[in-house]
Structure 1
Amino acid sequence: MYMRYSLLAVFVLLTLELMAQKVKLNVNLNVKHRTGNIESFDRHKFVNFHSTVNQNNWNTNNKMDNVIGDLLRDRDVHIGRNTGTISWYLRNSITEDPNRPGYADLTSIAAYGKQNRDSYARATWAHPYEDQDEQILCTQVHPFYPDGKTTNKGWAFSQADTEEEPFGTASGEFLAHYIKEFYGTGGVTGKPKPKFVEVTNEPLWDLVTTAEQPHDLTKIFKFHGTVAREIHKLHSDVQVGGYCAAFPDFDKNNFQRWHQRDKHFIDVAGEDMDFWTIHLYDFPSFGGKSLYRKGSNMEATLDMLEQYSMLKFGEVKPTMISEYNAQTHDYNKQGHLPYVYWLKVKSSVAMMMQFMERADKINYAMPFFMLKAEWQYNPSVGPTSVHGSRMMRRENEPESYTGDFIYTEAILLYDLLKDIDGTRVDTYSSNPDMMVDAYVDGNKAYVMIHNLDVEHHELDLNLAGISEEATDVEVRHLFLNGSTANDAPLLNVTNSSGFDNALEIAPEGSYVLVFTYPSEINIDEEVVESKYYADTYLKEIAAEDPIAFKIDQVELAAHGEAVLRVGVGRDHGRSLKPTITVNGTRVAVPDNFRGLGQEDRANFFGVLEIPIPYSVLQAHNTVEVTFPDAGGHVSTVTMQVFNFSAELREVVTKTNGLGLNIKIQPNPVQDRLLVTGMDQTRATQIDLVNIQGKLVYQQTGIFDELVINTQSLDAGMYFLKAQIGDQVQATKVLIAK
């Protein structure tokens, strides 16, 4: 998660012996964390998979009874996205209008639509679960895209492109009338109509990347705009998005991919789009290499979409991630392998937690798991032909495709996330590789933790903002039960009546901790997170040449915190530690960034997340970024501002019973730090610690004031601890050069 430094974190950091070993995680249960207008967990948006409520094989050949009830009710899993039904009807059933060549016959759409609604009306077993099915309707490229490819009925959509009939009009009309005729309002009237429409699935893969003769990008993007307008003529309440990029490698070829594809799409069709839609996959096993999106790369990708949307339209249009987790190339066509699901599930957790941080800017995020995907199995090939992203498999796999259906290891994702709900509350991590998020629901607190690192870590988890002790603590730990590709993921669940703060998390492992308290948790404070975007983006880097960015109209409160986010795309070996000033004050750039180092990728593309002193912020801000060497781009500069409803530091001080009144000045400091307010009758110990936990200064004695020479210390955030007897006070100190 973003690195934030508050007094909550300082008191955890004061145990110097443990600083180097343990990652500090704090959860402030009485402080609501609101991002934009979102303050609660949306299971529809995040806890879901690819299916439909009336899918024919929900309850056939299963080892357990009532799979749909187990998943959708007991586990509260949601479903959506259908690319198959509309494509099947278009390909096999819908006829051409005899009076309008290249157009679907509207009476044919209406007839098959009524059949479909009637079929759903008879599927009464599905009706109780339709509230769990918020559909994304999406077509497949062929025969929907008008390039002459015919349906099995022998006709193709019109390729006309005139002022009266813009390119894609016939396709858009079909899609609009399909929505009108194939859906109802629920129950016996027909399935509720979809809330979201993706124009078509991964169009550039078929039409450009793998095509013998690549299609014109401008024409493809105009097609998207035309289809969206046709849908909106009949359905103003349906959101339409595109272009559904399979591999949104914005930084490819020194950002030429961004200019040629993604920026071009926004410029051509963006006005008609309600949202952007992309697919994000890790490639953890690609020819022996690991090409990860999770971590800083995904942050840079999403920041760039948001940044350009703001520059182009004055607003951040939401992003839909309609497919994500991992593609496992090195294990393809080997049949069911539990290790493959470990690769997919660990990526799903990491990405989901990153999406949850942007809950106000993401309208849907769906991991790529399907229910059974029986259509993929080829009897002539055998069990190695099965799909690699299924919720259920045959129990005798991989030896044979026989037996009843049982859950694959994908179920561990949903068991990990079971019951999480409620109001998001304030969290902190001392390490950007350790993401933490938390929610309060009545008398329960849910804490999610994910380790982006490939090493074990010891954790020190502290809960604040509540005076009661939990009566029950459930600990769910998801990890690879071993260290090789022959091993399987395991979800270990334990319950106890207490919690001692200490945890050890496995490499790329996840925790969900559920704390049950005797009474309802009182949330009486608030952190409001806002994100601001610079006035420009994608600036070339020249050595020792400052790049200036303006961030205006920043709203500030009496108390708060801030994080500067600098997107960087550079060749490996180039510096990732620029000199940065905010309103003339130099700020420290951490050595660490979120996730792994991207060594196996062609170049680095990620976001540097930099804590900045709240005191240096203004309504109108100037940020300067200077690299010591040339090459690459600063892709984006954005700023997260966290405004507090009260001085949360004072709350923590009182909670911990601290009565000292040590004062420091100036702060920020350059050369000499003056410490006053000590007790002249008792010895005082002063420790100054850097953000990595290293003790850089210590003095013990009886004195009225103390001067610390900071000239030799690097710029950055430090923590000053003053201890007199059993009383301790900690203060943040910013050294600015």
Structure 2
Amino acid sequence: MSTRTTASTVTVDPTQTWSIEGHSDLNRQQYFSIAQSAGDGLDELSQEQFDYYFRELGITFGRRVNLLLAGHTYEEIVFEDPDRPGRVDIDRLKNEPPRTPGKFDDQLREMFPDGLDLVGTENFLKTTWPPFMETYVREEDTTGHHPMVKDHDAAAEGMIAYLNHRFNDWDRPRWFEGLNEPDWFFNVYNDESFFGLHEGFKNYRDEAGLNMEVGGPCFPTSQYFKNNYQTLPKTMGHFIDQTECDLDFYSFHPYDYTIWDEEAQTFDARVTGGLPMDADLDALVNYTVLEHGKEIDVVISEHGAYMVDTAVRYDQIDALGVRLFPELSDWDRWMKQKEITDFMMVNGAIAHTLTFMDHPHTVEKAIPFILLEASSWKPDHYAALLVSKDHQSPAEEWVESRMVDFWKVFKDVDGRRVRGWSIDPDIQQQSFVDGDRLFIVLNNLAGVPQDVTLDIANADEVQSYELRRLSRNEDFTPNYSEQSVESVDALTLAPQESVVVVATYAEPIVEAQRFEESVHYGDRSCVELTGQDSATFKVAVPDVEDAETVTLRIAVGRPHGTDRDLAVKFNGHAVTIPVEDSADRLDRKHKYADEYGALKRVRIPAEWLEAENAVEVSFPDGTGGGIGSVVLRVSRASE
């Protein structure tokens, strides 16, 4: 049986550290990056701007795009080996002088002494491969702009040589994922040369002895819940199978795909951030545990939300801007329009980030797709944090966009994860303690307001509260505020609003107890049910003694318009499953959406837990659906 939630209570205990599979300390480089490297546009900033963005707001670095491509085009340092036709002259590459240090490199080395923690991705363009490497174009690539190299061994050798000799251990990507979003241009799921290319990257990395993980395939989408969860084994699952689950990580780009609904005069979306992403991560790892006997690591080099219909999106936003802001000049109106899409991106990135934070044992790096600037190649790029005034190139004056709100929300959030729980599936929460401050991050996934009662242990010791709030105005632009308040006991979160509570104590908050949460996967994944059929999943928990909390997590994918009710029995006990108010945002029907995917999450009484647990699931409306995974998370107090 399922039931709607009416109000939410969020409980937080700052004295109790909460570790998920051994991960409790927040690493800001893991989640709060700009989608560029230290070499992209940084020299254009003043010292004051650098200090504000990278010291005060705590922006870190995320990604380097254009690798071998840059070597043979912009840098002109990659040449053919005269003794090995079709291959890179590695000796010549070794002898090239090093790059000129950037304006802020010395400061960055002090700020990030262990390295920049970048993800490396090769842009997949007509000029990706050096002209001496033979290429071919697949039938699916109607533009002919994305040729694939014929000799993937030569390409892999050249790519790793470039990564080896043009970088050092500080600025070399820590993760390399191959080509950027190749699935837009050809069917990568059945391409032997594509599989071989990634295996070649890994083999040449091993030969060079680089401290760099190699993975892929950088799929442009996720949405594994589609087709009753049968999409997962046919897409990412198939790639994992073909590479024998032997890459260091696997990667994809999850986005909320937003469109303008002219009839309703509002925005609609296929949502992946929040509950759908939570479900897909569980299902993906459950699949590899069953098929390959191990959990995989995941790297997300882009995530967020954007208007997806490239044929009309700019015209739609322009028309909306003229309608909403007719009094503004062309430039001012363009920046105001950008605020609309900025909120989409930031709101989607926050929902994704809070989801990834709940999977620290799986997600190694997650980068919101927000660029520092793009004036040299696309001055009006929708994802830029800094925009060149009047779109001049080169820029003479920088104008800050509302993309900055992402880092304002997460400013100073750091430290150790502490115990927190929301009974409402619509309210994401993550809580951290750093010194004398407790940070409680809340996000409303629903399109309706949510009342939240905040229950903080030791609240009588709090000296002050600060509230940061990010919501959306009626004209779709963002509304960000910071204010001191006397109490945070009762809050109302507006639709899709994010709130950070900063509670400052008189003394540093001392850990009194530590809990370890372990993850246990079911014996089946990606199960499709028809009609009134039920499926039983067995979940083994080796040690049931002293279990403090037991959380049941069920990944669901269903056709559009089906009932959201779910019938569940746990070891024979009927379980009431909360139905999220955000289901109305998740179950949409338009050009880019026709299905419903979500994680169903509920606490189970610890006394019900057994060494082998039977979870029976069915859809009471008799229309069937898919179960991606059944997972138990069990916590115990550490000794």
TM-score by length of 2: 0.85
The CA deviation at 1:313 is: 2.7
Pair 1:318 & 2:297 matched: yes
Amino acid at match of 1:421: D
Question: Aligned to 2:186, what secondary structure does the other structure show?
Answer: helix
- Corresponding residue for residue 382 of structure 2: 388
Three-state SS of the structure 1 residue aligned to 2:65 is coil
Look up the match of 2:597. Answer: 605
Alignment correspondent of 1:309:
288
Please tell me whether the aligned partners of residues 48 and 78 of structure 1 are also in contact (alpha carbons under 8 angstroms). Answer: yes
Q: Deviations over 1:547-600 (max 9, x none)?
A: 121111343342422222222222123343332222222222223376633223
> Share of identical aligned residues, percent?
22
Amino acid at match of 1:203: P
Indicate whether 1:73 and 2:73 are aligned: no
C-alpha distance 204-58 of structure 1, shift in aligned 2 (>3 A): same
Distance 1:316 1:104 in 2: 36
* Aligned pair partner of 1:28 in 4, 8, 13: 13
Partners of 1:593 and 1:608 within 8 A in 2: no
Q: What per-residue deviation string (whole Å, max 9, x for no partner) do you get for residues 410-448 of structure 1?
A: 111111111111111111223110112111112111111
SS in 2 for 1:354: helix
Partner of 2:493: 505
Instruction: Report if aligned partners of 2:517, 2:634 keep a CA contact under 8 Å in 1.
Output: yes
Q: What displacement does 1:73 show?
A: 1.6
Partner of 1:422: 415
1:218-229 pair list within 5 angstroms:
218-229=192-203
Q: Judge conservation of contact 1:59–1:68 (CA < 8 Å) in 2.
A: no
Q: Which moved more, 1:88-97 or 1:355-364?
A: 88-97
Match among 612, 616, 636 for residue 608 of structure 2: 616
Structure 2, unaligned runs of 5 or more: 137-148, 262-266, 319-333
The match for 1:139 is 122
CA distances 1:705-729 after superposition (whole Å, capped 9, x unpaired): xxxxxxxxxxxxxxxxxxxxxxxxx
Question: Per the alignment, in what secondary structure is the counterpart of residue 617 of structure 2?
Answer: strand
Judged with a 3 Å threshold, the aligned counterparts in structure 2 of structure 1 residues 469 and 122 are, in CA distance, closer, same or farther, namely closer
Cα distance between partner residues in 2 of 1:423 and 1:438 = 8
Mapped partners of 1:257, 1:285: distance in 2: 23
TM-superposed deviation, 1:158: 7.8
Q: Pick one of 253, 256, 270 that aligns with 1:279.
A: 253
Match of 1:642 in 2: 635
Give the corresponding residue for 1:734.
Answer: none
- Tell me the alpha carbon deviations over residues 48-107 of structure 1, each in whole angstroms, 9 at most, x when there is no partner: 11122233x3243x5x64322222222221102111244221345211112212211112
Between 37-46 and 270-279, report the one with greater CA deviation: 270-279
Is residue 350 from structure 1 mapped to residue 327 from structure 2 by the alignment? no
Alignment match of 2:516 (pick from 528, 531, 551) = 528
CA contact 2:245–2:288 (8 Å) conserved in 1? no
Alpha carbons of structure 1 residues 606 and 217: separation in structure 2 relative to 1, 3 Å:
farther
Aligned to 1:235: 209
Query: Which residue in the other structure is 2:274 paired with?
Result: 295
List per-residue Cα deviations over 1:164-214 (Å, max 9, x = no partner): x9962111111221122112245xxxxx32211112211121233xxxxx8
Q: Report the equivalent of 1:87.
A: 69
- Give the Cα separation in 1 of the matches to 2:506 and 2:106: 41
Secondary structure at 2:276 match in 1: helix
| Match of residue 701 from structure 1 | none
Moved more, 628-637 or 127-136: 127-136
Give the equivalent residue in structure 2 for 1:155: 132
- Aligned counterparts, 1:11-410, within 5 A: 22-55=7-40, 57-60=41-44, 65-91=47-73, 93=76, 94-112=78-96, 114-116=97-99, 118-119=100-101, 124=106, 127-131=109-113, 133-142=116-125, 151=130, 154-156=131-133, 168-186=152-170, 192-208=171-187, 216-253=190-227, 255=229, 257-285=231-259, 289-329=268-308, 331-332=313-314, 334=318, 335-336=334-335, 337-377=338-378, 386-396=380-390, 404-410=397-403
2:218 is paired with a residue whose SS is strand
Aligned 8 A contact 2:424 2:578 in 1:
no
Deviations 1:152-171 (A, max 9, x none): xx311589xxxxx9962111
Given that residues 543 and 626 in structure 1 are in contact (C-alpha distance below 8 angstroms), is that contact kept between their aligned partners in structure 2? no
Give the Cα–Cα distance (whole angstroms) in 1 for the partners of residues 104 and 218 of structure 2.
34
Moved more, 120-129 or 609-618: 120-129
- Deviation at 1:539? 1.8
Secondary structure at 1:141 match in 2: coil
Letter in 2 for 1:111: N
- Distance in 1, matches of 2:244 and 2:174, equals 19
Deviation readout 1:317-357 (Å, 9 max, x if unpaired)? 11111100111246436554211111111111111111111
Counterpart secondary structure, 2:424:
coil
Q: Distance in 1 between matches of 2:53 and 2:112?
A: 13
8 A contact 1:35–1:528 mirrored in 2: yes
SS at match of 2:163: helix
Q: Judge which range, 616-625 or 591-600, deviates more.
A: 591-600
CA 1:317–1:216: 2 relative to 1, 3 Å: closer
Gaps of 5+ in 1: 4-18, 160-164, 187-191, 209-213, 378-384, 647-737
Code of the residue aligned with 1:588 in structure 2: it is T
**1:413 correspondence with 2:400:** no
3-state SS of 2:243 partner:
helix
Q: Does residue 1:540 correspond to 2:528, yes or no? A: yes
**In 1, distance between residues paired with 2:550 and 2:107?**
51
- Render the CA deviation track for 1:15-56: whole Å, top value 9, x for unaligned: xxxx9974222111211111011112110101111122233x
1:126/1:469 Cα in 2 relative to 1: closer, same or farther (>3 Å)? closer
Q: CA deviation at 1:143?
A: 6.0
Q: Is the 8 A contact 2:619 2:625 kept in 1?
A: no
Q: How far apart in 1 are the matches of 2:630 and 2:151?
A: 37
Provide the C-alpha distance between the structure 2 equivalents of 1:495 and 1:539, rounded to a whole number of angstroms: 49
CA deviation digits over 1:211-252, x for unaligned, max 9? xxx895343223222222222221352111111110123344
Deviations 1:111-132 (A, max 9, x none): 34x332x556996565445547
Q: CA RMSD in A?
A: 2.9
**Residue 248 of structure 1 aligns to a residue in which SS?**
coil
Say yes or no: does 1:514 pair with 2:502.
Answer: yes
Q: 1:397 to 1:509 in 2, by over 3 A?
A: farther
| CA distance 1:644–1:278, change in 2 (3 Å) | same
Structure 2 residue aligned with 1:573, among 543, 551, 561? 561
Tell me the TM-score normalised to structure 1 length.
0.74
Deviation digits for residues 506-554 of structure 1, max 9, x if unmatched? Answer: 2111111111111121221233211111112122213333312111134
- Classify the secondary structure of the residue corresponding to 1:535: coil
CA contact (8 A) 2:225 2:556 kept: no
Instruction: For residue 103 of structure 1, give the secondary structure of its aligned residue in structure 2.
Output: strand
Matched, 1:440 2:420: no
In structure 1, what is the Cα distance between the partners aligned to 2:529 and 2:459?
51
Deviations 1:361-391 (A, max 9, x none): 11000000111111333xxxxxxx6100111
Identify the structure with bigger relative contact order (alpha carbons < 8 Å, sequence gap 6+).
2
- Identify the range of structure 1 (126-135 vs 414-423) with the bigger mean alpha-carbon deviation: 126-135
8 Å CA contact 1:52–1:135 kept in 2: the answer is: yes
3-state SS, counterpart of residue 384 of structure 2:
coil
CA deviation map 1:657-682 (0-9, x unaligned): xxxxxxxxxxxxxxxxxxxxxxxxxx
